[in-house]
Amino acid sequence: MQMFGRGDKMEHILFSPLGDTDPVRGCYDGAMLHILRHYQPERVVLFYTQDMAEKEHRDHRYTRAIHRTAFDCVIEEIFTDIQEAHLYESFSQILPQEVLRLRSENQGAQILLNLSSGTPQMKTVLAMLAADMENCVGIQVAAPSRTSNRANEATQDAEDIDALLENNFDEEEGAENRCDEPPLGIFRYYAERSRIRSLIESYEYAAALKIARRSPLVPPEASLLLSHAEQRSMLLTEEAKAILREYRGKKLFPFIGKTEELVEYFLMMQIDQETGRLSNLMLRMIPFLYEFLREYTAKNLTIPIRALCEPRNGVRCLARERLAAQEKELLAALEREFPYGYRDQPLSFYLLSLCCAYAGKAQRVRDADLHAEVMAELESIADIRKLRNEAAHEMVNVTEERFRQKIGMGSQEVLSCFCRMLALVYGDKVRAMRSTYRDLNAWIGQALEVHA
């Protein structure tokens, strides 16, 4: 339990409903007065129902008790016409609004919420606010007997308030401090944990990390995993590695170089597919296939495609002049594919796929079996370029139905095809990588259980 005093730099403001146990009951402080005594706030905000307001207007019992205990404490009073304070709807708007106003107008202050005065319904709402709001501390006050207050009669309207205050045992030196700060933050943490879990299910790591960074209760391990996932899901691979390369004995990046780039890009396409962002998926497919075929042709074709290219304004172009000098048969094959003959153009997925088709027929491959399998997979997605162009240039909403209609297979099947292509060239370790983000989500979920 943390207590505040006048030596603290932060201002402390007590927000308190009032009840029949205030300001004193049975020769002891009521909750409002007891918090005031031990926390010594610079200001107190009193929230009156109609009944409590009538008592204050009659004999000023609440403000007199405050001035007696803390003479220089500033008092702000909120008078309401609430009559049935046991009904949530009677105060469900004004009570939270006043707390929010107080917090908004005093952003550098610590707001102390009295959880032991007022009706049980008011106490519940204030406890929820304390659990959910930063810089708000809920304080409950135990009865002097450490049992229910019901044994003591409520302070009667006709009683002499001055006499009650004079005979208050809590004013004696060494009197017990009965204040307590219940660990309401754990309920806030449960809500934060639920939001984080919901966000990571849709791979919204940046939003989840923002919640984690604002919360003092999110375990550091969960924040570390979220930071890694956020960087990785933005294809910031080196930054993700700097945060975490291995977890629980498992290497998170089993590939290197271009292979790693392709696998990481594939994982992003998998996220697009799982979250239904099929337009994004379509826009990623051609770049992926282009990079894949660039690497594959260098690995398995005996045609020196890179040597046949020339840089033009930073773009690698497959040059007709070099083809004519070094690969006449390949040039002839390309001539047949273009109605007006082949002219220099940027190297592309389409050009590479034509080179692959020629290489298979001309036996210009190192591993014929591998080539046959790769070409079979490419043939199954031959129509993918058409849909990608529509997505990029015609503002077409790519639905699963449209996807299947254009390509002849669903988005999940296409991703499975890509995975098979990667596995053919780079080995079965690729298949195990498909669970990367699901594994990360599971680890984050487990790390979040620390405070459960």
Look up residue 255 and give its two tokens. 């590939």
Would you say residue 388 has pLDDT above 70? no
Within the chain, all domains assigned CATH 3.40.50.10770 are found at 12-182
Measured between alpha carbons, how far is 322 from 347 in angstroms, rounded to an integer?
Answer: 14
23 has which bridge partners? Answer: none
Cα-to-chain-centroid distance, residue 104: 24
Q: What is the pLDDT of residue 390?
A: 55
In this structure, CATH architecture of domain 12-182: 3-Layer(aba) Sandwich (3.40)
pLDDT per position as a tens digit, 296-345:
999 999 999 999 999 999 999 999 999 999 999 999 999 999 989 999 99
Q: Token digits for 436? A: 């990367």
SS3 of the chain: CCCCCCCCCCCEEEEEECCCCCCEECCEECHHHHHHHHHCCCEEEEEECHHHHHHHHHHCHHHHHHHHHCCCCEEEEEECCCCCCCCHHHCCCHHHHHHHHHHHHCCCCEEEEECCCCCHHHHHHHHHHHHHCCCEEEEEECCCCCCCHHHCCCCCCCCCHHHHHHCCHHHCCCCCCCEECCCCHHHHHHHHHHHHHHHHHCCCHHHHHHHHHHCCCCCHHHHHHHHHHHHHHCCCHHHHHHHCCEECCEECCCCCHHHHHHHHHHHHHHHHHHCCCHHHHHHHHHHHHHHHHHHHHHHHECCCHHHHEEEECCEEEECHHHHHHHCHHHHHHHHHHCCCCCCCEECCHHHHHHHHHHHHHCCCECCHHHHHHHHHHHHHCCCHHHHHHHHHHCCCCCCHHHHHHHHCCCHHHHHHHHHHHHHHHHCCHHHHHCCHHHHHHHHHHHHHHHHC
Q: How far apart are CA 234 and CA 231, in angstroms?
A: 5
Length of the chain: 452
C-beta pairs of 212-217 under 8 Å, 24+ apart in sequence: 214/134, 215/188, 215/189, 216/185, 217/185, 217/186, 217/188, 217/189, 217/192, 217/451
Q: What is the pLDDT of residue 444?
A: 98
Q: What is the mean pLDDT of residues 266-273?
A: 98
Query: Residue 6: its pLDDT value, please?
Result: 46
This prediction has a pTM of 0.76
The top-scoring range by mean pLDDT among 82-86, 155-159, 380-384 is 82-86
Q: In whole angstroms, give the CA distance from residue 123 to residue 101.
A: 18
Rounded CA-CA distance 100/357 in Å is: 68
pLDDT above 90 as % of the chain: 77
Residue 161 confidence class, pLDDT cut points 50, 70, 90: confident
Q: What is the mean pLDDT of residues 423-434?
A: 97
Instruction: Give pLDDT, residue 134.
Output: 82
CA distance between the termini of the chain: 21
The phi-psi region of residue 273 (left if phi > 0; otherwise alpha if psi is between -120 and 50; otherwise beta) is alpha
- Residues 15-68 have pLDDT tens digits of 999 998 899 988 899 999 999 999 999 999 999 999 999 999 999 999 999 999
State which amino acid sits at residue 149: N
Looking at per-residue pLDDT, the higher value among 395 and 418 belongs to: 418
Write down the mean pLDDT value for the chain.
91
Distance CA 200, CA 438 (A): 9
pLDDT given at position 146: 60
Q: What is the predicted pLDDT for the residue at 407?
A: 80
**Confidence grade of residue 165 (pLDDT, cut at 50, 70, 90):** confident
The confidence score (pLDDT) of residue 432 equals: 96
Tell me the β-bridge partners of 238: none
- How far lies 384's CA from each of 207, 294, 352, 379, 409, in Å? 32, 18, 15, 10, 10
In this prediction, residue 385 carries a pLDDT of 66
Q: Would residue 27 be called left, alpha or beta, if left means φ above 0 and alpha means ψ between -120 and 50 degrees?
A: left
User: Could you tell me the CA-to-CA distances from 403 to 183, 381, 390, 391, 418 in Å, in that order?
Assistant: 52, 11, 11, 10, 16
Q: Is the pLDDT of residue 152 over 70?
A: no
Judged by average pLDDT, the poorest of 2-6, 114-118, 359-363 is 2-6
